[in-house]
A and B are shown apart, each in its own frame.
Chain A
Amino acid sequence: MQRRKIKFWAMILAVLLPTPAMAQPATVVAVPPLATPENVSTAAGDTGLLARYVADVIASDLRSSRELMPIGPENARVYSYPEATAPSFSQWRTTGAKVLVTGFVQARSDGRLTVACYLHDIPGAREIARKGFVVTPAEWRKAAHRCSDAVYARIAGRPGWFDTQIAYVAESGTRNDRVKRVAIMDSDGTSHRYLTAGDTTVLTPRLSPGGDRLAYVSYAGGQPHVRLIDLASNDDGPLLPGNAMSFAPRFSADGKRVLFTMAVAGNTDIYTANVDGTALQQLTRTTGADTAPSFSPDGSRIVFESDRSGSEQLYVMNADGSDPLRLSFGGARYASPEWSPDGEWIAFTRIAGSNLSIGVISPTGSGERILTQGVGDEGPSWSAGGRELLFQRSDAGGRIGLYVVSIDGGNPRKIATPQDGSDPDWSSGGAK
């Protein structure tokens, strides 16, 4: 008991003590197990058990953020079903938490579940947010992630990213016999599945904003070319007819168009087309290599990479290809830009000598910051809230994996994948 108390206070202290990477202390959130009005057996287990699992997922989600510090559900006080909506605040004040998450899991007569969560301001003794989801028992985890998103959004003031997905390339085998497969998983690493068989080299999967499609590059048939997968039906086909080399696909914010690069006689330029391959339009016409295009969130502009000046640099142009302006002047080479979902920043890969690192720059070219000190960090992809970047890191030992870094800096954290991983893309989520 005494030991638990010390551990508890050590946790609180750890949260309150300032660290260089954390400008503000994290908000402590109590996440006790959810309640259930009646323990009912479902396809995914008893509702009493699911109530605990949902709290586990919420706490785990919040722990991966910088702004929130969950305590529980381990060792937390267990409350009754009526208390989910009317907590006894005096009991929770002693925990030191500022915010309390309660809720319940209830079996419905139609076989589905109601998962509800409530957010309470403990010092103010009032409810500050609530969310309810009706899901199949198999989808309980998705409901938990949505609760986490609601908690994060209410406290941090930005959309959460817990109910989002990560697409990437799973890599296995030796250097001379590398097997690469497009894979997709929930951003907490669950629901992992492979979308391609591994018999052909695949690159750069990119999720559509609605999460219904995935664009990627495949060597199937010989030339690398952009293909689209319908994630509901698993239909997989080329974006364009013919066998021209095309690569570096990205969707527009409305998901209706694809930006990509096409090579004609050794010269690569940026093109756009509808997702069905119609209305093909060429946007750049320089003799340099123009590639890695990314739309601004409002679709009015495109950031891309070009070596028209001699080395790779970032440029911004209008969506019709007019008025290209060079953005990067940092005395290095710059590649693989991606515009942030809030439009405030452009993430990039910076190449200095043979070291690759991740950084951000504003769309006007000011405020450049380097966020990682790796030797082989590349291909940043924004989180839904625009506060974190997912990227690929090759270490000195030749291993390659996925990492996340906050745009405020700090040490990148590794995202676990069953095999080596590269070319990650984080879905935008939030829209649902």
Chain B
Amino acid sequence: MRRAILVGLVAISLSGSGTLAAAQPSPPPVTIEMLQAGLVAKSGSDTVYFAGNGHGIDAAAQATLTAQARWLLANPEVRARIEGHADERTPRDYALAIGERRANAVRDFLVLQGVPAAQLTTISWGKERPAVGGTSEMALALNRRVSTVLMR
């Protein structure tokens, strides 16, 4: 039942039509990876980036998050975990604090766009889950981020 709804929601979000996919014969199972791919396709990215030690949401991040908010509003059955990260040159404890602050800044932005707070949770990974290895300025910049991770 839940899967059928999700399939329908994806169909809505991808096609914009109101056709219920559940009515069609033997639909392919919708995995969380497919949903995540749908979010990325519609929003441009599931990740936004931050400058220095900041948690301010710049224009590029606002555009991405506004699109993410639309997707989340269109898919109210899909929960999202907002995961905050710091770069590897941030000391351990402060990385946890700043990851938490970034995740909350993104959560607050999404809620202001109308996404129900109950649909979202936050977590700080500090510097425990770098997206990119190495410590070049580029690598550090790519790790100062918040990702919207869809959950079952």
Residue of B nearest to A310 (CB): B53
The residue from B87, B93, B104 contacting A291, defined by CB atoms under 8 A apart: B93
A–B complex contacts, Cβ < 8 Å, 13 sampled: A203-B92, A217-B96, A222-B123, A245-B96, A261-B97, A266-B105, A266-B108, A305-B93, A307-B53, A336-B93, A351-B89, A355-B89, A378-B91
Could you say which of B5-13, B67-75, B132-140 contacts chain A?
A: B132-140
Chain A residues with CB below 8 A from B133, complex form? 175, 398
User: A204 in the interface, Cβ–Cβ < 8 Å?
Assistant: yes
User: B101 in the interface, Cβ–Cβ < 8 Å?
Assistant: yes
- Measured between alpha carbons, how far is A292 from B96 in the docked complex, in Å? 11
Spell out A's residues near B (CB within 8 Å): 175, 178, 180, 201, 203-204, 217, 222-224, 245, 247-248, 261, 263, 265-268, 289, 291-292, 305, 307, 311-312, 335-336, 349, 351, 354-356, 375-376, 378-379, 394, 396, 398, 422-423
Interface residues of B in 54-96 (CB under 8 A from A): 87-94, 96
Residue of B nearest to A305 (CB): B94
The residue from B94, B107, B123 contacting A292, defined by CB atoms under 8 A apart: B94
Q: How large is the interface on B (under 10, 10 to 19, 20 to 34, 35 or more residues)?
A: 20 to 34
- Measured between alpha carbons, how far is A175 from B127 in the docked complex, in Å? 11
Chain A residues with CB below 8 A from B105, complex form? 266
Distance of A318 from chain B, by nearest CB (Å): 21
Contact with A along B27-69 (1 / 0, CB 8 A): 0000000000000000000000000010000000000000000
Distance of A331 from chain B, by nearest CB (Å): 16
Chain A residues with CB below 8 A from B126, complex form? 203, 224
Are the C-beta atoms of A378 and B92 separated by less than 8 Å?
yes
Distance of B96 from chain A, by nearest CB (Å): 5
- Measured between alpha carbons, how far is A307 from B53 in the docked complex, in Å? 10
- Measured between alpha carbons, how far is A312 from B94 in the docked complex, in Å? 8
Chain A residues with CB below 8 A from B97, complex form? 261, 263, 268, 289, 291
Are the C-beta atoms of B134 and A245 separated by less than 8 Å?
no
The residue from B88, B107, B137 contacting A376, defined by CB atoms under 8 A apart: B88
Chain B residues with CB below 8 A from A247, complex form? 93, 96
Chain A residues with CB below 8 A from B148, complex form? none
User: B120 in the interface, Cβ–Cβ < 8 Å?
Assistant: no
Distance of A330 from chain B, by nearest CB (Å): 15
Spell out B's residues near A (CB within 8 Å): 53, 87-94, 96-98, 100-101, 103-105, 107-108, 122-124, 126, 128, 130, 133-135, 137, 140
Distance of B8 from chain A, by nearest CB (Å): 29
Are the C-beta atoms of B92 and A204 separated by less than 8 Å?
yes
Distance of A35 from chain B, by nearest CB (Å): 48
Q: A335-B94, A351-B89 are in contact. Are A266 and B100 (CB under 8 A)?
A: yes
Chain B residues with CB below 8 A from A261, complex form? 93, 96-97
12 A-B pairs besides A336-B94, A398-B134 with CB distance below 8 A are A204-B93, A224-B126, A263-B97, A266-B104, A267-B101, A291-B93, A291-B96, A349-B91, A351-B91, A354-B89, A375-B135, A378-B92
Chain A residues with CB below 8 A from B96, complex form? 203, 217, 224, 245, 247-248, 261, 268, 291
Residue of B nearest to A398 (CB): B133
Chain A residues with CB below 8 A from B88, complex form? 376, 394
- Measured between alpha carbons, how far is A223 from B108 in the docked complex, in Å? 19
- Measured between alpha carbons, how far is A307 from B100 in the docked complex, in Å? 14
The residue from A265, A289, A355 contacting B98, defined by CB atoms under 8 A apart: A289
- Measured between alpha carbons, how far is A335 from B53 in the docked complex, in Å? 13
Are the C-beta atoms of B104 and A289 separated by less than 8 Å?
no
Chain B residues with CB below 8 A from A354, complex form? 87, 89, 135, 137, 140
Distance of A347 from chain B, by nearest CB (Å): 12
- Measured between alpha carbons, how far is A217 from B100 in the docked complex, in Å? 15
Residue of B nearest to A348 (CB): B91
Chain B residues with CB below 8 A from A175, complex form? 130, 133
Are the C-beta atoms of A291 and B53 separated by less than 8 Å?
no
Chain A residues with CB below 8 A from B124, complex form? 224, 245, 263
Are the C-beta atoms of A268 and B100 separated by less than 8 Å?
yes
